[in-house]
């Protein structure tokens, strides 16, 4: 979920085999912030964060995930606007 002054967005998870959840929240935040830094809109930034976090949880331990194919992962994330 991402809430700004103008919108609240919810992103669905990508179904993967989870090996380890350590660092998943940090990966979500860093992916979102990196996308914003690159000029992405809110929905794309959230999709990117979820894609990065998904890559991370598929790996055991704390080593960084591979980012090849991240665009495909990002496209698989569904985002919808919530009315609050």
Q: Write out the catalytic residue numbers.
A: 26
Write the DSSP symbol of residue 45.
Answer: H
SS3 assignment, position 38 = coil
């Amino acid at each position: 979920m991402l809430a700004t002054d103008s919108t609240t967005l919810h992103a669905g998870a990508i179904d993967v085999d989870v090996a380890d959840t350590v660092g998943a929240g940090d990966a979500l935040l860093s992916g979102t912030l990196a996308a914003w830094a690159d000029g992405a809109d809110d929905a794309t930034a959230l999709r990117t964060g979820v894609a990065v976090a998904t890559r991370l949880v598929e790996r055991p331990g704390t080593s960084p995930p591979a980012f090849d194919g991240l665009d495909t992962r990002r496209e698989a994330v569904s985002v919808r606007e919530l009315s609050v």
